[in-house]
Structure 1
Amino acid sequence: MTRAAKEFQTWYFEEPEFFDGPPVLRIETDEACNVSVVTPLVPKGLNEPETNETLKALLARLLSRIQPKRLIAWYYTPMALRFTHELEPDGCVYDNMDELSAFVGAPGDIADWERRLLEKCDVVYVGGRSLYEAKRNRHPNIHVYPSSVDVAHFRVARTMRDAPEDQALIPHPRMGFFGVIDERMDLDIVAGVAALRPQWQLVMVGPTAKIDPSRLPIAPNIHWLGCKSYESLPRYLAGWDVGFMPFALNEATRFISPTKTPEFLAAGVPLVSTPIADVVEPYGKAGLVEIARTAEQFVERAEYLLRRPKGPWLRMVDAHLSGMSWDSTWAGMAGHLNSISHRGMEARRV
């Protein structure tokens, strides 16, 4: 969206927050990148139809305020269609990063809303090759855009020496993970690696969501550090000897294309992952990421990475990442946008 905002006026309409008070919009604009985040504040106690009517009215209030000459509606989730199905934008985009219907707690009618959104949209972007293969026949104008990477942001981890306070005293070797800790993580692998190598320290960075925190394995060498800011992530990665992505192999991970894969690589952290399709191809087959299914295999692959010289691998990584950037991702997306509307329009994400 920071790239989009260089060409378009960009409004990011967030999910609602519920509070004691009348409906209102909270608008925060990042002057550096010109992206405005719009959070609808909705009174507590409303049922679903009342909430959707309130969101519809708040969105109308926003559009009346900005009065766009031309409008693109850019959807991250089909559930936003519940309060925008009457909206008639000049262009409509569905940015489908995950198979949301497979996630724990997904609304029972999300598949129906997605069908309606696919009928409404002019162009669809999907976040990985496996998701593209699953949906390529559901829309005539669908394109795959895997997550890119801010190489400059993460590359500084290769030379950082300033350790975060909550990680500084954790011994080496360290295996690290960052991201949301939810039903997509194989907690048995985490516990298994910790038990097989009690001298290794497992550093887990990220918030816990949709699972009971009491399910998290507890051991002296497992460190659950909680949520950290995007800006601070390179400081944590700088202190990891090996990265690991112990994703469960289930419906929730069938189509994921983890953004963190190229971020680990840009930071110069050797990585072991379960065989997620969009990690195996291209990263595993190119020798950039080691693949393991069990805790025993994770230990074996991690021990190999701890012994392996990093120089040749880093050269392979940098060659691969040289063809990836958010700038090129946006350029491709913008090309499709320009095919459905004129340049100079105002754009917004719903």
Structure 2
Amino acid sequence: MYQRPQHLMSRASQQYRVWFWEEPVCDDHAWLEVRAVNSHLHVLVPHLPPGLAGEAGHELQRQWLNNLRVQHRIIDFISWYYTPMALAFTDQLRPRLTLYDCMDELSAFHGAPPELREREEELMHRAGLVFTGGYSLFEAKQQRHRSVHAFPSSIDNPHFAQARRGLADPADHANIAYPRVGYSGVIDERLDLTLLRELASRQPDWQFVLLGPVVKIDPATLPQGPNLHYLGMKLYEVLPAYFSNWQVALLPFARNDATRFISPTKTPEYLAAGLPVVSTPIRDVVTTYGSYAPVRIAATVLEFEQAMAEALHEQAEFDWAPIDAHLQQQSWDLTWAGMNGLIKEHLKTSENVRAHALIPE
């Protein structure tokens, strides 16, 4: 999934060397895949056999990481975390700055490791800066750290705005009838499957298209029907073509612990594509986008059904100028510039403190 980490680290690589360490994948033997995206950005994927879990897997990753630092002479560096669980093989690092970019309240997710909260406390203690992916998360974290900064979901506006030009229908999409309402993203416990099932049943002429991988839930539990279409994960590059051939976009999130602090990146992406959005009352969606005409908030099946019907009927009548102006202020370029400014300020302050400490009495 090409999301916040990929957007930010791609931009970071224009000014820094970046090694992007992914979570392990299962393989028949142990090896570290190193894939060059460009001369300054490398993706690292640990391959671990099924029996190599727990501390043994962590120790092997620690060795690979240490070897990588020696090979590339990585001495003066920043450790940037998306999950506290990575401390299991990186706690030996002594960076100039530890940074935690918190996208979600991971401890609330189904199957979260029981030690995650403890790991996050340790990471918060080590971190010089904490960024959050939304305002709800900011409010939840700001009392736990001295330097927390909110950077909500941003948008690659030119990429998704292509959808407004009327792109060709993808081949696996072309035979689906109209009207089409779509969702793009991970399909997991955060989606309200009961809501989706009832909507599809009550409106058999509406075609529900879902793009994305099914994660951490049994695919057999997904609602099924002739108007429900699961097309799997799509490359980021082709998403505008799918969005261009929808009439309404959905955010059918459940109201549970896993969605309490989310700030869906898909909201601005849908809107940049010119799609009206219907969402359950996710707080960050309501507070950031709820006042704009193309966005409808619905708490029940009936409200959702009515909001979708209105969006389908009024699509051509929406005033897009206000939301387009708002989206211009939410680019990933601006987000990275804001983050990098804080990083440089922190490093400069730390260097000044260090220099002052070295001055003899």
The aligned residue for residue 14 of structure 1 is 22
Match of 2:31 among 24, 37, 44: 24
> Higher relative contact order by CA 8 Å / sep ≥ 6: 1 or 2?
1
Aligned-pair CA distance for 1:43: 3.7
Say yes or no: does 1:308 pair with 2:314: yes
Pairwise mapping of residues 38-53 of structure 1 onto structure 2 (< 5 A)?
Answer: 38-53=44-59
The SS at the match of 1:3 is helix
In 2, Cα distance between the equivalents of 1:59 and 1:161?
A: 44
Could you say which residue in structure 2 is the equivalent of 1:3? 11
Alpha-carbon distance in structure 2 between the residues aligned to 1:133 and 1:111: 17
Q: 1:15 is matched by which residue type in structure 2?
A: E
* Superposition TM-score, scaled by structure 2 size: 0.91
Q: What is the DSSP-based 3-state SS (H/G/I as helix, E as strand, rest coil) of the residue aligned with 2:13?
A: helix
Write out per-residue CA displacement over residues 292-348 of structure 1, whole angstroms, 9 at most, x where no aligned residue.
1122111101111122153543222211111111111001100111123269xxxxx
* Aligned counterparts of 2:136 and 2:316: Cα–Cα separation in 1: 30
Q: Secondary structure at the match of 1:336?
A: helix
Residue equivalent to 1:279: 285
2:140 to 130, 134, 143: 134
CA displacement, residues 106-143 of structure 1 (integer Å, 9 cap, x when unaligned) = 00010000000000010000000011111111000110
The answer on whether the counterparts of 2:179 and 2:207 sit within 8 Å (CA) in structure 1 is yes
Deviation at 1:67, TM superposition (A): 0.9
Asked if structure 2 preserves the Cα contact closer than 8 Å seen for 1:288 and 1:316, the reply is no
CA distance in 2 between counterparts of 1:64 and 1:178 reads 41
The residue identity in structure 1 corresponding to 2:31 is V
What residue number does 1:155 align with? Answer: 161
- For 2:332, the equivalent position in structure 1 comes to 326
Per the alignment, residue 254 of structure 1 pairs with 260
Displacement of 1:46 in angstroms is 2.0
Aligned to 2:5: none
Whether the aligned pair in 2 keeps the contact of 1:173 and 1:200 (CA below 8 Å) is: yes
Q: In structure 2, give the amino acid aligned to 1:57.
A: Q
TM-score, normalization: structure 1? 0.94
Name the residue aligned to 2:302.
296
CA shift in 2, pair 1:47/1:198, >3 Å:
closer
Alpha-carbon distance between aligned partners in 2 of 1:295 and 1:134, rounded to the nearest angstrom: 29
Separation in 1 of the partners of 2:206 and 2:163?
Answer: 21
Structure 1 residue runs of 4 or more that deviate by more than 3 Å after TM superposition: 309-312
2:98 counterpart SS class: strand
Going by fraction, where is helix more abundant, 1 or 2? 2
Unaligned runs of 5+ in 1: 344-350
Identity of aligned residues (%): 45
Q: 2:187 — aligned with what? A: 181
In the TM superposition, what is the alpha-carbon distance from 1:288 to its structure 2 partner? 4.0
* Cα offsets for 1:40-61 (capped at 9, x unmatched): 2234312411111111111101
Number of aligned residues: 341
